[in-house]
Structure 1
């Protein structure tokens, strides 16, 4: 029996205190995410690319390779990258004491031993500078910081999942995008959006065109925007008056540079009811996007408890 993690609920982790680990994990998740991207068939808005919060860390979920399936999981309890195949094959790589370059080379070698010919682009996306993985000697993995960040993601995934259940229209999974290194979930009005201008560092404009092809209200959690990270929400395209929408919850604010609403994680963590604090923020930001843009909320919003006994 594995001993439960102590103090796992809404943990505190200052962004400045795990910068080296955060940079390392960002590059590692890009490597693993690119493996998934190389094999999984294209889904709208790149939904085949992200990772998912799991009971042990972050996972790719099942990926097709020929007539087999495999998955890759960052295990932040045992601190290993695990690979499992539907034919029974498996292997793992200890995460401790490895540079980005070592992780890249050893992960590719592990996949090759398992008969998975993973060919990925060798540079990261959405960062500048984009140092090729095989040349990146950065090393900084603090197991405690990685586990704590994962526990932050567990809380965010839970609550955003509750928020997601209140929408009957097209809505993404709650998933972790390795390019921007954040957890995200997007609701869609059903209408096309103006062509996105692109401009993201080391990322083709066509990537953002696909990601933002339809009108949306997006939310999530990322390790920035607050001392301990922040919940965020934005609209694309942003309707007039969005930044000044009435009813903003205490502690939330609109960031004019990022063009999105932010709720510092530490504000939610310190609230009497952290779950409700985050849900109130997400509902407010969605209402601003949907009401100002004229979404058909009567058709799109839904009660997740509609089938529970009265």
Structure 2
């Protein structure tokens, strides 16, 4: 089968990724302002579609609307249940311009919403309406990231299907700009200390109220300057960091307390889906064994090992 996983580069795509993160925060904060709070903030996340990222349906007065970031047509689009559609192109837009145009369209559609314009989970944030610094939208980088997210989502769906416990949807968090999915043991967790810049402690304490393992992907950070898959467990068992997981390119990053697998290892593999499943399943096996999670929570591959090399 042809490898359809696109190449990604944090160095080359960084400016676009940083701008897109702020675009997605505008959309996420609109959901946050309108929808009632749900546990673990799941109702505020974005979702992968065939063309990009979407808020999905947002109820408002006597109709519904949806906002989509289209990385195929390279535009933002707002549509309503009344049959109205409005859009604008994403090229050469600062965050300030993006913010203004989104709210201009909402006003034309008779949608009145106010958001907190300070970005979340970002150090030294610039309010959206004042941010002229982040203004890069490279259509190739945006399109490649979208195709990567589609590939990753497909593998996460396979991994998720055999977990019988409480699990989150596969969703895109606009705060950390990551695609994520969590498994829960069913047991309560210790009180989380919080302390993430731009994020109230109570939000973290809600998110980590129960024991969990989180699996996901991000396009890179200043700490980890390459697109990477990640896995962490909360609370972390004493020997988790010293464990060995598959594939050989995976490693534990002590600075952030997570197992990581470079995206490039998967993208360059002859068996990318299987390589990523190796990472996910072996990380789960390590964490769940050390944390004494019930064996009944994962019904497939209980004796999982690499079967394709």
TM, length-normalised to structure 1: 0.92
1:188 equivalent among 176, 184, 188: 184
Give the Å deviation of 1:67.
2.8
Distance (Å, rounded) in 2 between the aligned partners of 1:154 and 1:182 = 13
Measured against aligned partners, the alpha-carbon deviations of 1:225-281 in whole angstroms (never above 9, x if no partner) come to 766501100001101111122444211000000100001000011112100100010
* 4+ residue segments displaced more than 6 Å: none
1:35 equivalent among 11, 22, 30: 30
Are the aligned partners of 2:245 and 2:283 in contact in 1 as well (CA < 8 Å)?
Answer: no
Measured against aligned partners, the alpha-carbon deviations of 1:115-172 in whole angstroms (never above 9, x if no partner) come to 1112111110000111000000021111111111111111111111211112111101
Q: 1:253 to 1:118 in 2, by over 3 A?
A: same
Q: What pairs up with 1:1-310 in 2 under 5 angstroms?
A: 9-138=4-133, 139-224=135-220, 228-298=226-296, 300-303=297-300
Are the aligned partners of 2:163 and 2:299 in contact in 1 as well (CA < 8 Å)?
Answer: yes
Gaps of 5+ in 1: 1-6, 305-310
Are the aligned partners of 2:266 and 2:275 in contact in 1 as well (CA < 8 Å)?
Answer: yes
Distance (Å, rounded) in 1 between the aligned partners of 2:299 and 2:58 = 32
RMSD over aligned Cα atoms? 1.6
Distance (Å, rounded) in 2 between the aligned partners of 1:91 and 1:267 = 40
Measured against aligned partners, the alpha-carbon deviations of 1:198-234 in whole angstroms (never above 9, x if no partner) come to 1111111111111111110000010127665011000
Gaps of 5+ in 2: 302-309
Give the Å deviation of 1:8.
8.4
TM, length-normalised to structure 2: 0.93
